[in-house]
């Protein structure tokens, strides 16, 4: 007899407690291989494809696209064993037939040497059944569930709810799940059904003919969840905990741009301006290590960090994210350029892993790409400082005693005043500006 294994939403790390289903990659009846991705979820940090540690036939799926599930909630069940598979597909679950413990999930602590397979085999519907066996209720014409005394009688048997998150939402809002007709498969009650019921309970009695102004006065409500919710929480914490200050200076970047052009003229991988600025940052942090630190409030200590894990701001369709370049202090401009390009591409495609977005010790923020000169950004908690770079534009500048048109950039440093005083912050920023104005200064500091 095949063994039915339940696969639950795994702990995706970094303190994440829930994830939203974006897209199912398998259906009930599909044959899946070990470590094959079965669902794409969105956490507060990134989009992640979740691989299943079992091989066999998918017998049930839990949760609809757009629904949030807590860590530990069931995702799918898989019938494991060669007997459960159609002819020609038994090899997909052969590794499970021995009864050995499931392999760790790829991407969550396992050996990454074997890539995940995304093979789809023709669905088998005759050998499996849907997770809910009760007869489906009659279809409801209106999308909003009926409530109150006029609601039809509640169906007999258990309430068709899978997600504990949906149950909690209904309980907190005072919604009787027995009075709802679910819009999901087999009458399954979804989060959208509960939210619609809550909206119906809270909505005032409809006016005969509401004026357009009355509707628009309500405004648009955008949930603070997912990435936007995580950003809001981090920025609020930074503002409440960190006594920040900002200093800034204009610098003549003409020589830096000339040096970059000369480096790129000799062939090979192109060097980006961001990579040169990052190399300047790591050299400055070696000279002023106070700014590569964090504050341990519980121990009342400043912790100076041995490595520079450099975060950089990247704008994506999902919003602003800050990927992290590990051990940036040991990279040359060519290596930094390649890593910036790799992480930026992952960010724009929504494929950054949670580990790519955490652990930063210092942030480089190039807001010049938005066509602005200056900013006073909020520090990326729990870091202690952020270097901001404005646009590099032609401006009149006194050079060697003569008025000339030079390429000028505004640099700003926002820092945690607990880790250092203004003298240290000013010294760091001045060293960065000196390297921008005369790249030879950078060579002397290496």
Which residues are CB-contacts of 196 (< 8 A; sequence separation ≥ 6)? Answer: 143, 144, 145
Helix (H) or strand (E) holding 217: none
Distance of alpha carbon 308 from alpha carbon 340, whole angstroms = 15
CB atoms within 10 A of CB 307: 13
Among residues 181, 381, 417, 431, which one is catalytic?
417
330 CB neighbour count, 10 Å cutoff = 10
Rounded Cα–Cα distance for residues 97 and 291 (Å): 55
What is the SS3 string spanning 392-432?
CEEEEEEECCEEEEEEEEEEEEEEECCCCCHHHHHHHHHHH
**417 classed as catalytic:** yes
Q: Cα–Cα distance between 431 and 405 in angstroms, integer?
A: 23
Chain position carrying tokens 């399954």: 188
Question: What CA–CA distance (Å, rounded) separates 302 from 119?
Answer: 50
Cα gap 245→281, rounded to integer Å? 18
Instruction: Determine phi and psi for 400, rounding to 5 degrees.
Output: 50, 45
- Span between the terminal Cα atoms of the chain, in Å: 67
* Whole-number Å distance between alpha carbons of 321 and 287: 28
DSSP state of 327: T
Q: In this structure, which long-range contacts are made by residues 164-171, counting pairs with CB atoms below 8 Å and at least 24 apart in sequence?
A: 164/70, 164/73, 165/18, 165/67, 165/68, 165/69, 165/70, 165/73, 165/191, 166/67, 166/190, 166/191, 166/194, 169/194, 169/195, 169/198, 170/194, 170/197
For the purposes of burial, counting CB atoms within 10 Å of the CB of 16, is it exposed (0-12), middle (13-18) or buried (19 or more)?
A: middle
CA 9 to each of CA 19, 69, 125, 168, 355: distance values in angstroms, whole numbers, following the listed order: 8, 8, 24, 18, 18
Catalytic residues, by residue number, are 417
């Amino acid at each position: 007899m095949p063994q039915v294994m339940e696969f639950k939403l795994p702990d995706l790390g970094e303190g994440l407690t829930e994830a939203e289903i974006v897209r199912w990659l398998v259906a009930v009846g599909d044959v899946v291989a070990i470590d094959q991705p079965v669902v794409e979820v969105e956490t507060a940090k990134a989009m992640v494809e979740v691989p299943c540690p079992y091989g066999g036939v998918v017998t049930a799926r839990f949760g609809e696209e757009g629904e949030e599930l807590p860590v530990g909630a069931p995702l799918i069940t898989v019938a494991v064993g060669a007997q459960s598979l159609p002819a020609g597909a038994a090899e997909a679950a052969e590794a499970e037939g021995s009864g050995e413990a499931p392999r760790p999930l790829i991407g969550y602590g396992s050996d990454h040497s074997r890539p995940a397979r995304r093979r789809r085999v023709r669905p088998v519907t005759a050998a499996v059944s849907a997770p809910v066996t009760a007869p489906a209720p009659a279809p409801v014409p209106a999308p909003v569930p009926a409530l109150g005394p006029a609601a039809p009688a509640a169906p007999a048997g258990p309430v068709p709810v899978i997600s504990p998150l949906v149950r909690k939402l209904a309980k907190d809002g005072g919604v009787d799940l027995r009075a709802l007709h679910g819009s999901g498969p087999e009458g399954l009650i979804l989060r959208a059904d509960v939210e619609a019921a809550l909206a119906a309970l809270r909505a005032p009695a409809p006016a005969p003919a509401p004026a357009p102004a009355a509707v628009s006065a309500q405004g648009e409500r955008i949930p603070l969840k997912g990435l936007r919710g995580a950003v809001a929480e981090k920025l609020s914490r930074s503002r409440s905990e960190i006594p920040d200050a900002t200093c800034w200076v204009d610098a003549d970047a003409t020589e830096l741009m000339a040096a970059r052009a000369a480096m790129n003229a000799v062939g090979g991988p192109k060097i980006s301006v961001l990579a040169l600025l990052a190399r300047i940052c790591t050299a400055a942090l070696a000279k002023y290590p106070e700014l590569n630190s964090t504050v341990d409030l519980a121990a009342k200590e400043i912790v100076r960090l041995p490595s520079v894990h450099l975060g950089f701001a990247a704008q994506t369709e999902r919003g602003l994210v800050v990927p992290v370049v590990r051990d940036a202090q040991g990279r040359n401009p060519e290596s930094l350029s390649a890593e910036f390009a790799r992480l930026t591409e992952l960010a724009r495609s929504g494929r950054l892993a949670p580990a790519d977005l955490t652990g930063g010790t210092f942030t480089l923020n190039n807001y010049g790409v938005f066509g602005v000169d200056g900013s006073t950004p909020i520090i990326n908690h729990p870091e202690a400082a952020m270097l901001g770079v404005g646009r590099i534009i032609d401006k009149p500048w006194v050079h060697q005693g003569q008025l000339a048109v030079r390429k000028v950039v505004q640099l700003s440093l926002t820092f945690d005043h607990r880790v250092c005083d203004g003298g240290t912050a000013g010294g760091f920023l001045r060293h960065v500006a000196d390297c921008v104005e005369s790249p030879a200064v950078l060579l002397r500091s290496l």
